[in-house]
Every structure is written in C-alpha cells, then in structure tokens.
Structure 1
Amino acid sequence: MPHAPETARPAIADPASVDAAIESRFSARAFLPRPVPQAMLQDILRVASRAPSGTNTQPWKVYVLQGAARDALVDKVCAAHDQLRDNPELEARYPEPYDYYPAKWVEPYLSRRRAVGLDMYGLLGIGKSEKDKMHAQQQRNFRFFDAPVGMFFTIDRIMGRGSLLDYGCFLQSVMLAARARGLHTCPQAAWNRFDSIIMPHIGAGENEMIVGALALGWADESDPVNALHTACEPVQSFVRFLS
C-alpha cells in the first residue's frame, strides 16, 4: 500500500516581511523606558525555540531580567566596571569565560572592528583622549543601554563547540522575532567577563557557562547612536559559486 503523501508545509505568504526583519535589524544602543509585555517576551522565545540544533539538543538556557532584578545587577556590574577603571590591577578577577575574540587581530577583521568604534564614537562626539566619556559610554553596555529587558544566555559546560553554532541560530531567531514585533535588540558580549557577578545573581548552576547577553526593548530612534548601521560586505566578497 503506498504511503500517503506528507502534508506540504505552507509557503511564507509574505517573504518580504522576513527579509525586512533581517535587513532592519541593527544593534540598538539607546532604548526608551517603555516596558515590554510579558506575553510578548514569552511569544518571542517560543518562536525562537524553533531554531535548529544538532540532534535537537536545544542547548540554550535563558534568564530574563526586568524591574528590580535587572536594576540590582546593573548596579553591581557598573560598580565593578568603575573599580576596574580605578584599579587596573583587579583585571585578573574578571577573566573571560571563553575566547569570544581572537588573541591576535589580523586583517580584514581588524579594520572592520576599528571602523565600528570610530563610527560610533564619532556619532557621539567622543574623542580618543576623552577617557571619562569613553568609560561612561562603555558602561552603557552594563545598563543594557536603558532597555527595560536584559536577557542572559547560558550553556552547560559539557557541551561542545557545535552547540555554540546552534546557539547563534537561536540568538538570531530571538532578535528577528523581536524585530517582527517592532522591537530592537543589542547582542552583548561585554557582560561576559563579569560572569562571577552575573551567574549567582541569576541563579545559574555551576555547570553553566555564560554565552552572552541581549538588551531588548523599543529603540530610541531620536538618539544619534542609533544612526549607526554597520556596513556589510557584498556577497561576491565572501561567496564562491561552484557548478
């Protein structure tokens, strides 16, 4: 007896909206105080949970901070950040949990990294010699750029490198689902070095490692920093078509 044909999955009715969510996403660095409904956050994470993962391991764990829990962590990490500025010898207290960036920068990555920094500080009118202003801007990371929602993402330490690839798919799905609802986000690795403060605060287990953080909310479109949209390389610069 022949197998019954599988039910065809429907095509996306409006593919342009998918493209728009991807193309309009940027790392927002200024947010409005407007709260994000809990139901919307739950729906974003529900949609994002459809992200692919090797053998369906789904290695993500998410901690969503709002209100007093968010504010208390902001105060703790900003205090530590200030201490590091005043006492650089404390650097060893806050090692990175994993190598997010290379130990040595080479081209073309070095130029791309420098361009983002120059463009951002240029928009803000902050010069290289203005150390206090630079410190204050760096600390905006640890205030979630005033976003009302901060998310932390962790993974079990036992998982392999491939699970970080899976995690990237999940994080992109979170950001695009948020964008589809009119929200903006900023993925953040800056928090990682303060994992010794963050992990106890969020109640993460000893077997967990921080992957990164995400600021989420309604972007302040009037803030000059949100005019920063990074340049992307043309397709022909990173793709080879073989036939």
Structure 2
Amino acid sequence: MTSDENHAHALIRGRHSVRAFQPTPVAGEVVRRILATAARSPSGTNMQPWQVYVLAGGARDALVERVRAMRAAEPERERGPQPFGEYVYNPEPLEEPYRGRRKAVGWSLYSLLGVAQGDRAASWVAAGRNFEFFGAPVGLMFTLDRTLGMGSWLDLGIFLQSVMLAARGEGLDTCCQAAWRHYHDVVRQIAPISDQEIVVCGMSLGYADAAAVANTLRSEREPVAAFARFITTAPSAQPHVTPAEQCDATS
C-alpha cells in the first residue's frame, strides 16, 4: 500500500468514541475545513441531505445548562419504555447478538468509571455527561428533512463517518451521540432548526483528555469471518417453476 493508503487505514483504526475532552478551543476555520472535507461523502444522486449546526461558546453552554435542568425535571425522557424523541433508535427488547454487544460495551465503560451494576443514581450521572458534550468545546447537531426516506439516513451515516475521520486528520477526536434526540425540543431553543427537520444526532468535537480513564475504552469488533461471506462460485442453474407448475406438482 502507498503511504496515503496506510494513513487511511490508520485513521479508521485510530478513531474511537472519546468521552472526556480538554477545554482547549477549536478554531472555527478548523471546523469548517472538517465539514468541507466531509462534504465529499457520497450520497444517492448527490442529494447531500445533511444539515449541520455548530454550537460553541455561549450557545453550547446554554444548551448544556438547559438540558441539565430538563433532565432534573423530566427524567422519564431517557428512561422509557419509549424514550422521548423523534424516532426510536432500536427496537425493544433488542434481540441477540445485538443485545449482548450493547450490554458488553455499556458495562465495560461503567466498570472503568466505577459505576456498579444496579447503581441507577451513578449510571444516571454518567449518562448525563453526554449532554455536556463530555467537556468538548464544540457540539455538532445533524438533521435531515422529514420528507426524505431511509436512503438519506444511509447517506447521513456515511457523512458522519467522514466528519469523524476528517477530525482525526486535524488531531481532534469525536463522539457521535444519538442521545441528543431525547432533547430535540431543547436543541431547537438554541439552534434555528425548523420543524421540517429531524434532529438525528449530536457529536462532541475537541481534543481528547488523554489522562481520562473513560478514554482507555476500546470496544470489541467482530472478525471479518463473522460478518462477511466471500462468494466466488455461481450456484448451479435451477429450473424456473411457475406458481401454476408448483401447484400441479404438489396437488
């Protein structure tokens, strides 16, 4: 591989969800450069359906304060059984193997943070760090037009990965956060997001705090053999059977 190809692999392998940031400011020109690079992401028929709202300074701090107050007043927003929000991220109950993977990463993080299993008060506090952008000085909000379909959600996912990788290229880290959907109405109080848009997720952006224990977490990934099938031989041709012929054969 060329050095550029090696660099691409290193960026992807080096990306992980950072949950503790330094307060060091991120220059607006750097954020613009990240977004300009991410805008090269592919999208169906070049629709480029994403919208991004960049929150920093007083706007970012106001959102954090308002959500902190809302969490204290309406804790049921996050506790379910159907969390408050514009869409359901996962079906519940979640089936295996997805349930096991979610549980494993959750308890791996909580064990690092010293949150004991069953300690709901401590887990509530830990979850609340989401809504402080984990201390990051920049918060990004991503939206889609409500009239668009599943294909645009796919396009947005590709765009999100591009943002995260471009950030790594700038020496920055990120944490993508669907949890912000619980407080889409509060986000709208700060950012000029129209009712025509769905608040899909947020993202923390900043310089990682290397000393934070939360940032030592590296979630596991399945091996290629567990999710990929390499098919090199065409199946033998099967005679086409019409519904009428099938009926005659089984009558």
- Same fold, TM-score > 0.5, yes or no: yes
Residue in 2 that maps onto 1:7: none
Query: Contact 1:84–1:91 (CA<8 Å) still a contact in 2?
Result: no
Residue in 1 that maps onto 2:60: 70
Give yes or no for the alignment of 1:210 onto 2:184.
no
Residue in 2 that maps onto 1:233: 222
Residue in 1 that maps onto 2:187: 198
Residue 103 of structure 1, CA deviation: 2.8
Residue 165 of structure 1, CA deviation: 0.1
Query: Contact 1:185–1:215 (CA<8 Å) still a contact in 2?
Result: yes
> For residues 81 and 196 of structure 2, what CA distance do their matches in structure 1 show?
22
> For residues 159 and 39 of structure 2, what CA distance do their matches in structure 1 show?
7
Residue 197 of structure 1, CA deviation: 1.2
Q: Quote the RMSD (CA, aligned, Å).
A: 2.0
Q: Secondary structure at the match of 1:215?
A: strand
> For residues 56 and 176 of structure 1, what CA distance do their matches in structure 2 show?
20
Instruction: Describe how 1:126-141 pairs up with structure 2 within 5 A.
Output: 126-141=115-130
Instruction: Describe how 1:142-161 pairs up with structure 2 within 5 A.
Output: 142-161=131-150
Give yes or no for the alignment of 1:30 onto 2:20.
yes
Residue in 2 that maps onto 1:8: none
1:114–1:93 Cα change, 3 Å: closer
Q: Secondary structure at the match of 1:14?
A: helix
Where in structure 2 are there 5+ consecutive unaligned residues? 233-251
Instruction: Describe how 1:22-61 pairs up with structure 2 within 5 A.
Output: 22-61=12-51
1:102–1:81 Cα change, 3 Å: same
> For residues 109 and 93 of structure 1, what CA distance do their matches in structure 2 show?
18
Amino acid in structure 1 at the alignment position of 2:4: D
Instruction: Describe how 1:68-217 pairs up with structure 2 within 5 A.
Output: 68-85=58-75, 95-217=84-206
Where in structure 1 are there 5+ consecutive unaligned residues? 1-10
Q: Secondary structure at the match of 2:74?
A: helix
Residue 201 of structure 1, CA deviation: 1.8
Residue 58 of structure 1, CA deviation: 0.3
Task: Return the TM-score normalized by structure 2.
Answer: 0.88
Query: Contact 1:94–1:196 (CA<8 Å) still a contact in 2?
Result: no
Give yes or no for the alignment of 1:221 onto 2:182.
no
> For residues 49 and 219 of structure 2, what CA distance do their matches in structure 1 show?
29
Regions of 4+ moved over 3 Å: 90-94
Aligned length: 232
> For residues 81 and 187 of structure 2, what CA distance do their matches in structure 1 show?
17
- Rg larger in structure: 2
Task: Return the TM-score normalized by structure 1.
Answer: 0.91
> For residues 181 and 28 of structure 1, what CA distance do their matches in structure 2 show?
15
